[in-house]
Amino acid sequence: MKKIIIAMLLFFAVAYVMIVHYFPDVQINKYPDIQTVHEDQAIQKGWIPAILPESAYDIAETHDLDSNTLFGKFRYRERDEKALIQSMKTLSDRNDTMEWGNFLFKVDREKNQVKYRNKPRPAR
């Protein structure tokens, strides 16, 4: 009887490790426009920056709840570019990287596209 209990515990321990390791808690969301972002409350959840311009479209974000990492992108209409850029701060220590809140941004003005990620946590 002891061997069966030990075997069962070992089986469940191995199954747990495999599930956690091979199936990380990664979620990908795509939104056609800012209205859909608001409906999903993605800004309130912290997955999309509130700096998103009203003309934003083709919005996508990927977040990993296990590692607390977040990557995303969106496109915007040219009419919103000036206000968007002015609301961000350029980081002098990083090549063309801008910041706003807890997010880092790379703006491609030719494609009217912004890629963003959350700021990495400081090393402990």
Measured at the CA of 105, the angle between CA 100 and CA 101, to 5 degrees, comes to 15
The domain segmentation of the chain, as residue ranges, is: 24-118
Alpha-carbon span 52 to 28, nearest angstrom = 18
Q: Average the pLDDT over 43-64 and give the result.
A: 93
48 vs 96, residue with greater confidence: 48
Percent of the chain topping pLDDT 90: 59
User: The tokens of 10 are what?
Assistant: 């070992």
Q: How many CB atoms lie within 10 A of CB 51?
A: 17
DSSP codes, 12-42: HHHHHHHHHHHS--EEEEEEEEHHHHHHHTT
Dump pLDDT digits (tens) for 64-106: 877 788 999 999 999 999 999 999 998 876 678 999 999 999 9
The one-letter amino acid at 91: L
Q: Is the pLDDT of residue 61 over 90?
A: yes
